[in-house]
Structure 1
Amino acid sequence: MPTSIPAAGTLPWRVSEHGLQVAMVHRPRYDDWSWAKGKLDPDEEWAPAAARETHEETGLVVRLGVPLPEARYTVLARDGSPAEKVVRYWAAEVTGGDGRLVNEIDDVAWLDPRTAHDRLDYARDRDQLRALVRHHQAGTLTTWPLALVRHAHAVPRGAWKGDDDRLRPLDDSGRARARTLAPVLEAFGVRRLVSSPSERCTATLAPYAAATGRRLRRHDELSEEGYAADPTGAVLRLQKILDRGRPVAVCSHGPVLPALVDVLVGLTGDAAGPHRGRLVEAGADRLAKGEALVCHVAGAGADARVVAVERHLP
């Protein structure tokens, strides 16, 4: 079995007076044109790696959008043996950066899709371009992320000596997951943090809140106790979030999350295909502890549609 080499990258895009354009990179070492991408660092997750590699290769800060088809191909590992390189891609909007080239790249070109198609040196790279163009034509390229997060692993109820379960803290593995979750949320450009007031939920989002200076908003209807008292409250809170239409992470509990997932399933429509199935599966699982279920939403309020879904598991 060949070794697997994980890598991640993006297709930065913009719409100018000339229409849709995508950013390609030229690597002088190989004299080829392709997408910004690179291997994951040790213990790094895919989404943060895609954003990091894009910045390192193009000087552009990006926010990840809808996922695009992955690429798989054989390369030679450092020891000379064959290895399968697996590259995950996302469409990405530029949010900052000076465009200064600092790592292995000597040129970045913004091109229309037809010109980009012809300039690409590898046929496998055209799969991502075609998917991006289809999203643009369908009106689903511009999206905002709604990340449903189940709190990370907490001290077991039986081992907790406190009287108020809402104060039960994360354990060591839960705190570690909270730290690794922060760059995932950053890669998707999450800017609003909403949580159950229970300590295990707020602590799951706390590292990201501290790193970005974002306010953590607490709502009792997202707690286990609030949901048990009135199951409609959590759904109404989610509807307010959909009406607002801003990049957000919502942290809650296993018993609460299926009701929220059901709402989002209703926003997928028939066109969502496997993404709808991924949502249904996540709802049935109640999400894993520390999981971020990232839903890419086009539109807001009554026009909101879930067009893609990703499960970021611990």
Structure 2
Amino acid sequence: MRDGVLEVALVHRPRYDDWSWPKGKLDTGEDWIVAAARETLEETGLTVRLGRPLPEAHYLLLTKAGVPGDKIVRYWASTVTGGHGRLENEIDAVEWLDVTEANVRLDYAHDREQLRALVRAHTEAALDTWPLAVVRHAKALGRSDWKGDDRQRPLEARGRERADALIPVLAAYGISRILTSPSLRCVDTISPYAVWAGIAPRPKKGLSEEGHEADPDKAEQHVERALERGEPTALCSHGPVMGSVLDAISPRLELVGDGSVEMLERFVEARDHNLDKGEALVCHVAGAGADARVVALERHPTA
């Protein structure tokens, strides 16, 4: 936004002499959102916080072998949070344009679909969002294999790998606040990102299995407080607590407009069948407090 006017960044590729959105290719094993944040930085020199997803683009192209193939490109609305702005990777110009100018400048019809989605979301006050990432702790040592206090049961090797893999995922969303069950398996799931980001996690007994059993309302209260703050937040808890966490989010789902049916289906699947261990459910929230509305959802399962 500049003086209340929505602006978007387009890039010019001298190789093709075209104007388009920043984009690129996935590295091996890379999450889509991680690639989106990385490619944006590489092409524009700008660090961004990813927001709500935008429509995908599908089109045919010839592979290096000359065989037709289907190309899928995924997009997200993003907000600039930093960066140096130097152009270093196949881009010779970046321009910020209002939506009318951008519509004219874009060289490909399929790129205008994302622009239209941005305008619709902006008109509905659902473009400026912040993320609430609900994370189930990663794979821990089995209860039968642990003889000590269950609250001190550690992650196993696969769980530690998943905890490390969550770093770029949470970084892409610009998570700046962390709430976690004090149980070691939750703390160790979220700690690698916390260390990377320089954030002190906030232990909450109400997010633990024991605390939830003693007072089932506490988990919902923690969600409500996070919604009141309106700050990019990750909340790490346990499978048996997820129902209460998602129950607190459920009334905030905005079930109107494009993608509402898919969002509801995604949410119901997570609520009824639980998140996988190490999975993150990212809720894109517009507004805060009583006005907070979840306008989009994304699931990031364990690979």
Common fold, TM-score beyond 0.5? yes
Select 1:37's aligned residue among 23, 37, 45: 23
Asked if structure 2 preserves the Cα contact closer than 8 Å seen for 1:68 and 1:91, the reply is yes
Question: What amino acid does structure 2 have at the position aligned with 1:127?
Answer: E
SS at match of 1:36: coil
For residues 80 and 155 of structure 1, the distance between their equivalents in structure 2, rounded to whole angstroms, comes to: 49
Show structure 2 runs of 5+ residues with no match. Answer: none
Question: What amino acid does structure 1 have at the position aligned with 2:278?
Answer: G
Report how far residue 211 of structure 1 moved: 0.7
Report how far residue 236 of structure 1 moved: 1.0
Structure 2 residue aligned with 1:285: 273
SS at match of 2:132: strand
Asked if structure 2 preserves the Cα contact closer than 8 Å seen for 1:24 and 1:36, the reply is yes
User: Does residue 250 of structure 1 match 2:235?
Assistant: yes
For residues 198 and 155 of structure 2, the distance between their equivalents in structure 1, rounded to whole angstroms, comes to: 21
Structure 2 residue aligned with 1:76: 62
Select 1:298's aligned residue among 277, 281, 286: 286
Report how far residue 276 of structure 1 moved: 2.4
Report how far residue 165 of structure 1 moved: 0.9
For residues 133 and 265 of structure 1, the distance between their equivalents in structure 2, rounded to whole angstroms, comes to: 26
Structure 1 residue aligned with 2:299: 311
More strand by share: 1
Percent identity between the two aligned chains: 58
User: Does residue 262 of structure 1 match 2:247?
Assistant: yes
Q: 1:152 to 1:26 in 2, by over 3 A?
A: same
For residues 92 and 259 of structure 1, the distance between their equivalents in structure 2, rounded to whole angstroms, comes to: 30
Superposed structure 1 runs of 4+ greater than 6 Å apart:
none
User: TM-score, normalized by length of structure 2?
Assistant: 0.96
For residues 55 and 26 of structure 2, the distance between their equivalents in structure 1, rounded to whole angstroms, comes to: 18
For residues 79 and 218 of structure 1, the distance between their equivalents in structure 2, rounded to whole angstroms, comes to: 54
Q: Which moved more, 1:264-273 or 1:26-35?
A: 264-273
Q: 1:18 to 1:251 in 2, by over 3 A?
A: closer
Show structure 1 runs of 5+ residues with no match. Answer: 1-14
Report how far residue 18 of structure 1 moved: 6.6
Equivalences for residues 113-192 of structure 1 within 5 A: 113-160=99-146, 162-192=147-177
Question: What amino acid does structure 1 have at the position aligned with 2:101?
Answer: T
User: TM-score, normalized by length of structure 1?
Assistant: 0.93
Asked if structure 2 preserves the Cα contact closer than 8 Å seen for 1:265 and 1:280, the reply is no
Deviations 1:53-93 (A, max 9, x none): 00100011110011101111222223333322211110000
Structure 1 residue aligned with 2:193: 208
RMSD: 1.1
